[in-house]
Structure 1
Amino acid sequence: MLSKKWRREFPLHLMILPGLILILIYSYVPLFGLTLAFQKFLPGRPFFENPWVGFDHFKYVWDMPNSLRVLWNTIYIAGFKIMLGQIVPITIALLLNEIRKGWLKRGVQTLIYLPHFLSWIILGGILIDILSPSQGIVNQIVKAFGFEPIYFLGDNRWFPITIVLSDVWKEFGFNTIVYLAALTGVNPSLYEAAVIDGANRWKQTLNITLPSILPIVILLATLSLGNVLNAGFDQVFNLYSPSVYESGDIIDTLVFRVGLEEAQYSVATAIGLFKSFVSFIMISLSYFLAYRLANYRIF
């Protein structure tokens, strides 16, 4: 029996072998480099001959004048991305679910889904042109109504809002598909019974649709907690400038500047290790909550 099962499942194990090898090479082997956070990096010396400094780099990072501000910016931006990244797709999915013309529904889905496939290098250039205070179409409209132009990417008050809204615009189409798939699993007989009882579309949405997809909503919301320190390096790096470091500098951009521009590799590794440690805790918490609230289990 065991031999027959092994012969049946062996090709499946071979199929996942390349993926496991890639994960081993690019995700686990580099973990040895984390020891750099506890060493003083000296170029030219063998890696394990660098002097050990304990937690000095972590203390240095904590004493940096902008460390708390960067941490707050990261949590603030990532938190609003997570929150709006749930609310907007659910709302759009509910609205699309009410469209009865198939061609219109598919057309809207395609249009809102397209930005997901564009990189932030492309979208960053587009946003810089659109939001330009002098020539951008958005500020042309603002000035047409008699208001002063807004420096969306150069004003600390507007930059976090711009980052959050542009990220939601880029990704809500992709997330909407998940909720549309969940809506297809709602039992149609429930709606038929509701119509007989005199419930309108709004009552059907409140009492049937939303409760039916609530487990999926809870699952995706809890799993997104693992990204609480991922505010989006690609997006912020392509849109920010020194004038908005106060409100737009996040952990990943700080690591980039400290590690690659200032060549403080040990300090950058310490920051990255701190972020990974917190993310590990949040991911563990999110899976625990997903199991408790939505009965979600990997195995």
Structure 2
Amino acid sequence: MEARTADNLTASARAPVRKTWWARTRKKWWQDRYLFLIALPGVLFFIVYKYVPMFGLSLAFIDYNPFLGIWESEWVGMAHFSRIFDSPEINRVLWNTLVISFLQIAFAFPIPIVLAIMLNEVRNQLYKRFLQSIIYLPHFLSWVVVVGICFIFLRGEGIINGVLKGFGMGPFPFLSDPALFKPLIVAQVIWKEAGWGTIIFLAALAGVNPEQYEAAMIDGANRFRQIWHVTLPAIRSTIVILLILRLGNVLDSGFEQIFLMLNPFNRETGEVLDTYVYLKGIEQSDYSFATAVGLFKGLVGLVLVIAANQLAKKFGEEGVY
């Protein structure tokens, strides 16, 4: 009897606490209702375009037949994933994807860091803004325009071959030479995105205390020493975070750019996972296998992000999470 009375007292004591917590939460939500309203379009975007389409991943585990639909198609389990590892085409396409991605990390990723440091050293603000506008501009061009400009300059009758002919050389097959495909892709990425990538690093550099530079000058450090001991440590965490996020997209080398640059001469060395999924899923109507390849690519990216984040934490960095 005494135990039952104690339980009743405990339950009655918890009820006001539970009610008070709900009242505080509801009041907090009502106070922040306009913030929730502002966030609503973004939340709906992710729900509609990111989470709802995940239902389509079920195609990777069935032998999808458009006439039968998803529910009536035959369940095949991991059969399509076995095809991924048994297909010689996938080995070639995966190798092309990894090479292009790591070339972009090796050459395109450091360029915004260098540009941001150089812009940070410019003392004339008017000249600095002019330079920023010039290097930002290519980002706002679509890949169709960028590839079109590349064709104008590099085709057989293009500007560069025209200049080379004037010197008695060429013409050179810049667009059809398989050996030049990957360097052209990386060069296009650098030209288009390097300036835009400096924004984050310039924002990080804006938070550096000027007294650190003054202290370095008193200690006799020249400009290069100041960059090495003050500037780079200030943006080190930003570099690590962006590198981790970039590793998560290592199998996402860009569909539109590469699709526009592909031709029968460079397809062997230029086809990547994104264009291969398009070939299988859209042109050959092998929807299930294309979905399995896309899911495999996403899982590899997830594993790389987690591994890179843990590695960064072991070296004392904050990481993404």
Which residue of 1 is the match for residue 45 of structure 2? 22
Letter in 2 for 1:66: E
Which residue of 2 is the match for residue 148 of structure 1? 170
Q: CA deviation at 1:147?
A: 4.2
Letter in 2 for 1:234: E
- The aligned runs of 1:126-205 (5 Å cut-off) are 126-132=149-155, 134-144=156-166, 147-205=169-227
Which residue of 2 is the match for residue 263 of structure 1? 285
CA distance in structure 1 between the partners assigned to 2:188 and 2:177 by the alignment: 16
Q: Which moved more, 1:285-294 or 1:103-112?
A: 285-294
Q: Which moved more, 1:85-94 or 1:159-168?
A: 85-94
Equivalent pair of 1:115/1:170 in contact (CA under 8 Å): yes
Query: Could you say which structure has the larger radius of gyration?
Result: 2
Which residue of 2 is the match for residue 276 of structure 1? 298
Instruction: Call closer, same or farther: CA 1:203–1:46 in 2, change over 3 Å.
Output: closer
Q: CA deviation at 1:297?
A: 4.9
Q: How many residues align?
A: 297
Q: CA deviation at 1:49?
A: 0.6
Deviations along 1:48-105, whole A, 9 cap, x unmatched?
1111222222233333332111001111111121232321111111111222222211
Letter in 1 for 2:109: Q
Which residue of 1 is the match for residue 65 of structure 2? 42
Instruction: Call closer, same or farther: CA 1:180–1:154 in 2, change over 3 Å.
Output: same
Equivalent pair of 1:291/1:297 in contact (CA under 8 Å): no
Equivalent pair of 2:104/2:186 in contact (CA under 8 Å): yes
- The aligned runs of 1:212-291 (5 Å cut-off) are 212-289=234-311
Equivalent pair of 1:151/1:158 in contact (CA under 8 Å): no
> 2:115 matched to 1:92?
yes
Instruction: Call closer, same or farther: CA 1:203–1:142 in 2, change over 3 Å.
Output: farther
CA distance in structure 2 between the partners assigned to 1:10 and 1:173 by the alignment: 38
CA distance in structure 1 between the partners assigned to 2:148 and 2:231 by the alignment: 39
CA RMSD of aligned residues (A): 1.9
CA distance in structure 2 between the partners assigned to 1:24 and 1:2 by the alignment: 24
Query: Sequence identity of aligned pairs in percent?
Result: 44
Q: CA deviation at 1:142?
A: 4.1
> 2:140 matched to 1:108?
no
Q: Which moved more, 1:266-275 or 1:250-259?
A: 266-275
Which residue of 2 is the match for residue 66 of structure 1? 89
Letter in 2 for 1:108: L
Q: Which moved more, 1:137-146 or 1:264-273?
A: 137-146
Give the 3-state SS of the residue equivalent to 1:165 in structure 2: helix
Letter in 2 for 1:19: G
Q: CA deviation at 1:255?
A: 0.5
CA distance in structure 1 between the partners assigned to 2:87 and 2:25 by the alignment: 59
Q: Which has the higher contact order (CA 8 A, sep 6+)?
A: 1
Give the 3-state SS of the residue equivalent to 2:179 in structure 1: coil
Q: Which moved more, 1:1-10 or 1:11-20?
A: 1-10
Deviations along 1:200-257, whole A, 9 cap, x unmatched?
1112111211122212111211221111001111110111112111211000000101
Instruction: Call closer, same or farther: CA 1:4–1:290 in 2, change over 3 Å.
Output: farther
Q: Which moved more, 1:215-224 or 1:254-263?
A: 215-224
Equivalent pair of 1:222/1:289 in contact (CA under 8 Å): no
Instruction: Call closer, same or farther: CA 1:287–1:17 in 2, change over 3 Å.
Output: farther
Q: Which moved more, 1:232-241 or 1:176-185?
A: 176-185
Q: CA deviation at 1:117?
A: 0.8
Equivalent pair of 1:223/1:287 in contact (CA under 8 Å): no
What is the TM-score with the length of structure 2 in the denominator? 0.86
Equivalent pair of 1:223/1:290 in contact (CA under 8 Å): no
Deviations along 1:173-225, whole A, 9 cap, x unmatched?
01111111111111111211222222211121112111222121112112211
